[in-house]
Amino acid sequence: MALSRTSLETAIHEKIRSSGLRLTMPRRAICSVLSAHEEEFLTTSEILSAVEMNGLAIDPSTVYRTLDDFAEIGLVHHIHLGSQPGQWHLTVDHDHQHLVCESCGRTTLVPTIEIEPLFEVLRRSYGFHASLHHFAILGTCADCEPSDGHPHG
Amino acid sequence: MALSRTSLETAIHEKIRSSGLRLTMPRRAICSVLSAHEEEFLTTSEILSAVEMNGLAIDPSTVYRTLDDFAEIGLVHHIHLGSQPGQWHLTVDHDHQHLVCESCGRTTLVPTIEIEPLFEVLRRSYGFHASLHHFAILGTCADCEPSDGHPHG
DNA sequence: GTCGCAGATGCAATACTTCGCAAAAACAAC
DNA sequence: GTTGTTTTTGCGAAGTATTGCATCTGCGAC
Ligand SMILES: [Mn+2]
Ligand SMILES: [Mn+2]
Ligand SMILES: [Zn+2]
Ligand SMILES: [Zn+2]
């Protein structure tokens, strides 16, 4: 079962401290936003806006640096859903992959466990272990693919 | 068989004209560079440098806009091999996909025809037609994956 | 060839991201 | 609590990408 929001934040703070990073106001502020939006993917500017809505002021450069620092300790990562800037979220419970339709923009979530077997072939043929956490899979969804028996409307 | 460089450029010019775009000096200059580096993937700044080395001067914003225009008519596209800026090339003869090792940076090319069947499952389960031309597949190569019987050295 | 106009360009302004550095804060030792 | 060391921050500057707009140009009509 999922952690409550406050115990999630506590666990995050633990991880920051135990990784040798200091627990500062900007880092708390960013953690708070990420915890409150656990189901979403936020851009740096969305994170910054949310921090400001909480009545706190931090510098944009601090947001960029903090996210990079958090990524280094495995606390967060970002994905690219298209040509847009990366979108960030907590790494915990991130067990799905994104199919993004280049035509209508819709995103479909697919459990990672369904995707991983596809890449088994790459492992066998090339010894290459694909990691599926950085880029979405782009393409055309059922509704937008005219020849597929799933027409729009 | 591949076209010679001059007939490749002629074919490109044809495509520009027939798509309703005008054939201007900056566009010729960029086409020339792309044709001369048909086997490579160039960033916008590499393209700009190459244009300047040919004794021509165009504005950076023109490079961005031209590449976007060319992409719209299917003449070029770009890929992201990692966190770096996108890399551009002519669309003709682009029949492979990139496996990029996040550990050592090496890129392995895989024929697209080998990869497409993997995504057949997504089509059957989700009606999603994956297009494999925008993002590289990131992961760990055989040499960098310690537990795989392909140690470094 | 000239003319006219839609489309393309250069330039400046803006937006977004990264970097260097001095000041400030975290935190361990006392 | 105070002190000292190291990390982190905000700020300014630099680097990179995008946008608006006046000027220029490709090219079709004549
Ligand atoms: Mn892109
Ligand atoms: Mn990225
Ligand atoms: Zn769609
Ligand atoms: Zn490697």
Rg from Cα positions in chain A: 18
- B99 and A126: CB-CB below 8 Å? yes
Q: How confident is the model at residue A93 (pLDDT cuts 50, 70, 90)?
A: confident
What confidence tier does A147 reach under pLDDT thresholds 50, 70, 90?
Answer: low
Dist. CA A33–CA B4, nearest whole Å: 56
**Residue ranges for chain B with pLDDT beneath 70:** 1-2, 147-153
Closest residue to A110, CB basis, from B101, B108, B126: B126
Phi and psi, residue B121, nearest 5°: -60, -40
For residues A110-122, average pLDDT: 89
Residue A2: the pLDDT is: 66
Would you state the pLDDT for residue B116?
87
Q: Which residue is nearest to nucleotide D11 (CA to C1')?
A: A59
Question: What was the pLDDT predicted at B105?
Answer: 84
| pLDDT score at A72 | 96
Q: Which of A3-7, A78-82, B49-53, B141-145 has the lowest mean pLDDT?
A: A3-7
Q: Give chain B positions within 8 Å (CB) of A125.
A: 114
Burial-class residue A130 by CB neighbours within 10 Å (0-12, 13-18, 19+).
buried
- Average model confidence (pLDDT) for chain A? 90
3-state secondary structure of B23: coil
The predicted structure's pLDDT at residue B147: 65
Name the residue facing A126 among B110, B126, B130 (closest C-beta).
Answer: B110
Q: Are strands B76-79 and A137-140 parallel, antiparallel or unpaired?
A: unpaired
**pLDDT confidence of residue B61:** 98
Q: How far apart are CA A9 and CA A20, in angstroms?
A: 17
Q: Residue A2 carries which DSSP code? A: P
What are residue A101's DSSP bridge partners?
A139
Which nucleotides in chain D lie less than 7 Å from some protein C-beta?
7-13, 16-20, 25-28
The rounded Å distance from CA B140 to ligand 4 centre is: 5
Query: What pLDDT shows up at residue A1?
Result: 59
The fold of B96-144 is Dna Ligase; domain 1 (3.30.1490)
Closest approach of chain A CAs to the CA of B81, in angstroms?
A: 10
Query: Bridge partners of A129?
Result: B140
State pTM to two decimals. 0.87
Contacts of A119 in chain B (CB under 8 A): 118, 137, 139
Nearest nt (C1') from B16 Cα? D26
Topology of domain A5-78, CATH: Arc Repressor Mutant, subunit A (1.10.10)
| Rounded-to-integer distance, Cα B117 and Cα A35, Å | 38
pLDDT at residue A8 is higher than 70:
yes
User: For chain A, which residues make up each domain, given as ranges?
Assistant: 5-78, 96-144
